[in-house]
Structure 1
Amino acid sequence: MNISQTNTVAELAVENPATTRVFEKYGIDYCCGGNRTLVEACHLADVDYDQLVNSINEAAGKDANEKGDSDWRRESLKAMMAHIIDTHHVFTRTELARLNELLAKVCDRHGAKHPELAELQVRFHDLRQDLIPHMLKEEQVLFPYIDQLEQALTGNAELPVPFFGTVRNPVNMMEREHDAVGALLREIRTLTSDFTPPQDACISYQTLYGALSDFEADLHQHIHLENNILFPRAVAFEKSFASASSEDRPDSQSCGGHSSGGHPSGGCFGA
């Protein structure tokens, strides 16, 4: 890969998905903090720049010789959203339920000796409270609109005027909620000493920390796909549709028009 010090972490993650595994290894935030340059990210994570670049090139070279990951820059938005729901949303819901039970069990058995488990339980509860409605808003409001937007841009359907004005409004909200989730994940990592179980940890304790680590990695990938690929593409699609509409149908309403369908103009996604 052609890598420069001014490349952002997100740019590299989008260009070659194999780099996300390298970023996970070195503790570099490529989802919520993807706008940082590689140099800035190395400084924050206390990682040697040259070592990181070598690891990225090695991973990219290996990925080129294998099947590799899907290039979501070129897949349809419909396919990408289906992947996010079927892969990441399903995993998140399943693991939230499993981890909640496992954490309660570990707290009950080890909480007296390890008081940090009580704080971990609070932070995990906060994470659940954020993620469950967040995914519903995506599945019930934002993703259906993006699907309609893509169909309208290809001429296969009319685009209804959304109650939230423009796609940028719900995208901004989802990104803010992603930031909150990212902050909670960092707190959980700190409370668990980078998911390192104590020496007296039982099998359930060890399983909990391993599962939390896997959960974090999946959420990073999940948020990366949305923040760095899906959302920017959706915003660009809406701009293209608005531009085409103004040229071909000058009397039609733009995507930022008045609310319809009885919804309040701001709604839960208002500016």
Structure 2
Amino acid sequence: MNSTWCRFKKGPSFYLPGAFPLQMHQMTAPNARGGQLTAFKAFLCDSFYGVAFIGAAELSIKHQLVRDLVGSLVGASDIFRRYDIDFYRIGGLTLWQAAARQAVSVDLLSADLSGLPLNPASPPASMMGLITFIDTRYHNVHRKQVLSAIRLAKAIQLSPKFAHTIPLGLGNLLTLLFDTLEDHQLHEEEELFPAMVNSPQHTLTFPVYRAVLEHDEISDQLDTLSRLTGGYAIPETAHRCVRLLYALCSSLDGDLRLHMHLENNLLFPHFIGEGALAS
């Protein structure tokens, strides 16, 4: 970074119990439009031993909202899934609160998240853009994912040689999931999304909460799918068809939960208020 155009901007001082005074600084640089672009933030601790840099992100990650971590870190949703944290349901909670709710170590959780790269992409900021993104990126993709998994599961179940290699009832569960998901997505496509577009300032409390309840039903079915497949853990001796089926189910699980995260945490609060779904 060129020192001729970067500088430290001094921020407010504050104290930590039993520590030296801390001073917040941020390094800024002019962007293409002549404004200031924050390139780096750090705490500076002046002491007899020199200046210690403590990363602000490291200090604050436990206090960041779950929904922000999912959006800003590549792979955060996978880590939350590993810890059985329903990030799409409790996106308005901080990492501290989410860890306490699930009775997991916030230190281990934050350590896993701290090693993730920043996400260079982000969903559209506007409500209209977000609706279009959800519809095109997820709805038809989910239909193809579930139908492919159903066809493969039923083909395996009909094979005398491989029928015993997948859990009994897997095909039926996937069919139930497809029916539930199709009803939900049609409700959004035909009723909820048009109402949001045509009356963006109008409170849509009942239709939105209906969609949230449908998300809960889908989530419960995904939880059952995960338990039935042992967390999508592929047996070492599994045939390639079984491996493909488990990979499809795992991909569907992750995609669906991200889809529900975008709606519960980013889209729906436009209509039912910030934090209404955090509990």
Pair 1:168–1:212, CA change in 2 (3 A): same
Determine if the alignment matches structure 1 residue 69 to structure 2 residue 121: yes
Alpha-carbon distance between aligned partners in 2 of 1:222 and 1:140, rounded to the nearest angstrom = 18
* Structure richer in helix, relative to its length: 1
Cα shift readout 1:160-204 (whole Å, capped 9, x = no counterpart): xxxxxx411111000001001111101110110111233442111
The question of whether the paired residues in 1 share the 8 Å contact of 2:232 and 2:247 is answered with yes
Residue of structure 1 aligned with 2:195, choices 136, 145, 160: 145
Tell me what 1:134 maps to: 184
Determine if the alignment matches structure 1 residue 3 to structure 2 residue 53: no
Pair 1:58–1:199, CA change in 2 (3 A): closer
What is the correspondence of 1:159-198 to structure 2 with a 5 Å cutoff? 166-198=203-235
Determine if the alignment matches structure 1 residue 23 to structure 2 residue 80: yes
What SS does the corresponding residue of 1:118 show, helix, strand or coil? coil
Cα shift readout 1:60-97 (whole Å, capped 9, x = no counterpart): xx31xx6x12154xx21111111101111121011122
The question of whether the paired residues in 2 share the 8 Å contact of 1:127 and 1:181 is answered with yes
The question of whether the paired residues in 2 share the 8 Å contact of 1:167 and 1:235 is answered with yes
Alpha-carbon distance between aligned partners in 1 of 2:239 and 2:102, rounded to the nearest angstrom = 31
Alpha-carbon distance between aligned partners in 2 of 1:88 and 1:118, rounded to the nearest angstrom = 28
Mark the runs of 5 or more structure 2 residues left unpaired by the alignment: 1-56, 275-279
Residue of structure 1 aligned with 2:109, choices 46, 52, 57: 52
User: Aligned residue pairs: how many?
Assistant: 214
Tell me what 2:153 maps to: 103
Q: CA deviation at 1:47?
A: 4.5
Tell me what 1:262 maps to: none
Q: CA deviation at 1:33?
A: 4.4
**TM-score normalised to the size of structure 2?**
0.68
Mark the runs of 5 or more structure 1 residues left unpaired by the alignment: 154-158, 160-165, 238-271
What is the correspondence of 1:236-251 to structure 2 with a 5 Å cutoff? 236=273
* Structure richer in strand, relative to its length: 2
What SS does the corresponding residue of 2:158 show, helix, strand or coil? helix
Tell me what 2:16 maps to: none
Residue of structure 2 aligned with 1:205, choices 238, 242, 249: 242
Name the structure, 1 or 2, with higher relative contact order (CA <8 Å, separation 6+).
Answer: 1
Tell me what 1:32 maps to: 89
Determine if the alignment matches structure 1 residue 113 to structure 2 residue 175: no
What SS does the corresponding residue of 2:89 show, helix, strand or coil? coil
Tell me what 1:268 maps to: none
The question of whether the paired residues in 1 share the 8 Å contact of 2:62 and 2:96 is answered with no
Q: CA deviation at 1:223?
A: 0.3
Residue of structure 2 aligned with 1:223, choices 260, 263, 275: 260
The question of whether the paired residues in 1 share the 8 Å contact of 2:131 and 2:193 is answered with yes
Sequence identity percentage = 26
The question of whether the paired residues in 1 share the 8 Å contact of 2:62 and 2:106 is answered with no
